Structure 1
C-alpha cells in the first residue's frame, strides 16, 4: 500500500470523519508541513488515512509528561485505541509533571532497554531530550514527536499541530473583538510551564496576534498545568489587577478559573479563553462559562503517531510532519461540533498498556 492510495489531497472533503472511534475515525482532515520539521515550512491540506492493520505486534513505547489533565487523557485514548485497532503492543509511561525531565529520560531509557521497537514522545522539554533522541535513533529505533515538540533533527516523524497557530488563533479571537482604536482591555496570560516547546510557541503566537489591537497583555505567568498551580496563578493576577477583562491560557487555566470567577462574583466582567481544547473547556463553552478555544483534535494526534510508528517499522511510506486541522470552537458554533470528533469518550479511563 503506498502513500498516494492512503493519503488523499484536495479541498472538497468534510471537516471531520463521522466520529473518533476505531475504524471510522478516518479519513481525517489534516495539515502536512513541507519541508518536514522546518519552522517556516508550508502547510498543505491532506486527508489522513492510516494502515488497516500492522503486519505484526510491534512493541511501541509511549511517554507522556503527565496525566494530570484531560488533554493527555485524550491523547492516551488516541494511542490506546489506535494500538488496539492496528494490533500492536503499547506501553505508556507517565513522567509525573513538567518538572520531571530526568524521570522522563530514565523511563524512556528503561523502555528501550526492555525491547521497545519504536518510541512516541510527548516531550517535557523542547531541547532537553535531544541527546536521548540521538542515542535511541542510532539504535535504529524510530522516535515520533507527538503534541509538544522536540527540536532534535533525529526524530523520525512529528504528529502535532502548530502551537504558534493555536496561540495565535486564541489571540486573534480577542483582537477581532477589540481592534485597534477601541477601548483598551487587559488580559491575564497563562501559557503553561516555562521551557516547554509548545508553551513558547503558543506564547509567541498569542503575542503576535494581539500586538496591534486594543488587547493589552499583562506579563505572562508560567506554571505547571496542574489545577492547583493554575488556580493560584489566576487568583494572584486577579488580586493584583482588579480591572482585568480576560483570563487566557491553558485549558487547565480556563477550567480552574471558572470556580474562581464564580466565587468572586466576576461573571460577565472577566471572561475566559483557552488556547487548546479539553472536555472541561468544551463543556465550559457549552455552558457559557468559557468564550472559546481552538480545537487541535488531540485524540487524532495520538492516533497518527502510532500509525507513523508502524509505517516506519514496516518500511511503508509515511508523512513525516502532520497534524489535524485547527479550528476555533466558541459559543456560537459549539452545538454544531461533534464532541466525539475532537475529544475522548466521556467514560474513558486512563489506560497504560495494550498487549
Structure 2
C-alpha cells in the first residue's frame, strides 16, 4: 500500500470514528421537555415543579420550567411555548392560565411535533391538548358541596353562599369546581358552559387570583354585600385562608363554614384546626411525574397517553378530607390526608 493510500485509509477510518462518535452523542442526548405553570408562587405549582424535576432527573430528561407572573398571565405562557418549540423540546406540560387564549399557541406546538399535555386545568376545548392529567374538578367540587349540604342540614335551604373563584377569565378549572360544588349542594345547573348560576342563595362571586390576599379581599367585599353569609366556597386553600382572616376580623369564624379544594399539607392542617370544614385533596406530584413519563414514551416510540374510561382526560383522583364526616359522603380523616398531602 502506498503512503497516499495509507493516509487516505486512515482518514476514512478517522472520519468513520468521528461519525460514529457523533451518532452516539446524538443518540445519548437527553430528551428535552418543558413545564409551564400558572405561577411560581402558589404552593400547588411549586410542588408540581418539584415533582416534575425529580421525575425528569430519574428518567434523564432535560426539563426547563417556566411560569406566568400572575394567575391569568397568558402572554408569559405563550412566550414559554414558543421558546420550547425553538429549543427542540419533545413535549410540553402546561397548567394554562387562560384556557382559550392559549389554544392557538398550543396548536402551533403540536404542529411542530411536540406532545402537549395539560396538567390540572383542561384547555377549552379539551382536545386542543394531546391529553390532560388532572383531578376530576367537577367531582372535587361536588364532594365539598355534598358535605356542606349535609353539614348544614335543615339550614342548607336558607344558606347564604360566598363564591370565591379564581379569575375573571373563568378557566375550565374555575367552572368545573364552581359548578361541581353547586351541584353537590343542590343548586341546579341549567347551562354547564355559563359561569354565573343565578340562585337566591348565592350572595355573589369574587375573583381571588387563587391567593390569600385575594381571598381576604373577596370575602370582605361579599360580607359588605351580605353580612349573613354562612357558607364559603373557595377555589383553593390560599383563598380559603384569606376568607378566614376576613371572617376573623369581624368575629364570624364560628358562624361560617368554609370548604375548599387542594389538599396541601398546610390545608390539611387547616382542616384539623377547624379553619376549613372540608377539603378535596388533589395529587399534583402524580400529575407531574405521569406527564414526564408520557413525554419520554412519546419521544421513544410516538405513543400518546390515553384517557380514563368514559372521560376525555386522565383522572388522577381526589378524596374528601374532613374532621367531621357526614353520612353518605365518602371522606378520609386529616390524619390520613396528612400522609398523602403535598407542599408545606
Shorter-chain TM-score: what band? 0.7 to 0.9
Question: 1:299 matched to which residue of 2?
Answer: 285
- Which residue pairs with 1:342 in the alignment? 341
Moved over 6 A (4+): none
Q: Deviations over 1:39-83 (max 9, x none)?
A: xxxxxxxxxxxxxxxx86211111111123212122122212211
Unpaired segments ≥5 residues, structure 2: 1-27, 189-198, 308-312, 325-331
The aligned residue for residue 5 of structure 2 is none
**1:266 — aligned with what?**
252
Task: Decide whether the 8 Å contact of 1:248 with 1:275 is kept in 2.
Answer: no
Q: Is 1:188–2:162 an aligned residue pair?
A: yes
Which stretch has the larger CA shift, 329-338 or 122-131?
Answer: 329-338
Could you tell me which residue of structure 2 aligns to residue 134 of structure 1? Answer: 107
* Count of residues in correspondence between the two structures: 291
1:209-220 alignment runs, 5 A limit: 209-211=184-186, 216-220=201-205
Residues of 2 paired with 1:265 and 1:186: CA distance?
Answer: 17
Q: Deviations over 1:271-302 (max 9, x none)?
A: 22103323332111121211111112122111
| 1:207 counterpart residue number | 182
**Aligned ranges 1:265-344 → 2 under 5 Å:** 265-315=251-301, 316=303, 318-320=305-307, 321-332=313-324, 333-344=332-343
Check conservation: 2:265, 2:341, Cα contact below 8 A. no
Q: Which has the higher contact order (CA 8 A, sep 6+)?
A: 1
SS in 2 for 1:204: helix
1:242 aligns with 2:230: no
Give unpaired runs (5+ residues) of structure 1. 1-54, 347-355
Residues 342/101 of structure 1: CA separation in 2 closer, same or farther (3 Å cut): same
Aligned residue among 16, 33, 44 for 1:71: 44
Q: Compared with structure 1, are the counterparts of its residues 212 and 130 closer, same or farther at alpha carbon in structure 2 (3 Å cutoff)?
A: closer
Q: Give the TM-score normalised by the residue count of structure 2.
A: 0.78
**Shift in alpha-carbon separation, 1:126–1:286, aligned structure 2, 3 A:** same
1:156 equivalent in alignment to 2:130: yes
What is the root-mean-square deviation in Å for CA atoms of aligned residues?
A: 2.4
Written as runs of structure 1 = structure 2, the 5 A alignment for 1:77-96 is 77-96=50-69
- 8 Å contact kept, 1:56–1:87: no
Instruction: Between 173-182 and 156-165, report the one with greater CA deviation.
Output: 173-182
Maintained 8 Å contact 2:121/2:132: no
